[in-house]
Structure 1
Amino acid sequence: MLLGRRLAAMTELLKSVDYEVFGTVQGVCFRMYTEGEAKKRGLVGWVKNTSKGTVTGQVQGPEEKVDAMKSWLSKVGSPSSRIDRADFSNEKTISKLEYSDFSIRY
């Protein structure tokens, strides 16, 4: 049974996507919650504030988990945030992860 799970995990498609979240997403712990949510889901990548008041980043991992994170970024966020919209770009299948963990960039 364990061998079957390992083989399934090895053949799982990896996905990478860039994102930018608009709304009240700075000064509301959005980056901290994003980092926590990504780590909880076993995803890698990064998140940072932009000078125009948005939050941007990249997330990578198994396709299902990346899709779930996209939904979280679009609809949930941090408790005090107000998400107007989330834009996703450069969505692609990758052969290996480009990061070893998920981090907040400054």
Structure 2
Amino acid sequence: GCYFTKFTRDLCTKAGITGWVKNSKQGTIVGKMQGPKDEVDKMINWLSTKGSPGCQIEKCDLRNMGTLNRLDYKTFEIRF
């Protein structure tokens, strides 16, 4: 594999983004991110255009984007 979830977790943690990421049964990556808008925007760009070394981005489907009064997560984790 290309360790997409690990790279995502590490980059989000470094950027102060909280939430989670996991591999789906359909062979895709799903997750939730919360944090400073500029950092989330940078992460969206990474997720949709670059990704981890060796991966191939075919599509990036973003949903439920909005502004939060408070974060729902304290850390960024890989779920299984």
TM-score range, shorter chain: over 0.9
TM-score normalised to the size of structure 1?
0.73
Q: Work out the CA distance in 2 between the residues paired with 1:77 and 1:51.
A: 19
Report % sequence identity.
43
- Note the residue ranges of structure 2 that are not aligned, 5 or more in a row: none
TM-score of the superposed pair, with normalisation by structure 2: 0.96
- Look up the equivalent residue of 1:62 and give its one-letter code: P
1:40 aligned to 4, 14, 19, which one? Answer: 14
Q: SS at the partner of 1:56?
A: strand
Looking at structure 2, the residues matched to 95 and 56 of structure 1 have their Cα atoms a distance apart, in angstroms, of 23
1:84 is paired with a residue whose SS is: coil
Higher strand share goes to which structure? 1
Aligned-residue RMSD, C-alpha: 0.7
Question: Residue 54 of structure 2: SS of its match in structure 1?
Answer: coil
Structure 2 residue aligned with 1:85: 59
Q: How many residues align?
A: 80
Higher-Rg member (1/2): 1
Structure 2 partner of 1:67: 41
Deviation at 1:76, TM superposition (A): 1.4
Counterpart-to-counterpart distance in 2, 1:76 and 1:102: 20
1:75 is displaced (CA, Å) by 1.1
1:40 and 1:56 map into 2 onto residues whose CA distance is 19
Q: Which amino acid aligns with 2:79?
A: R
The DSSP-based 3-state class of the residue aligned with 1:59 is strand
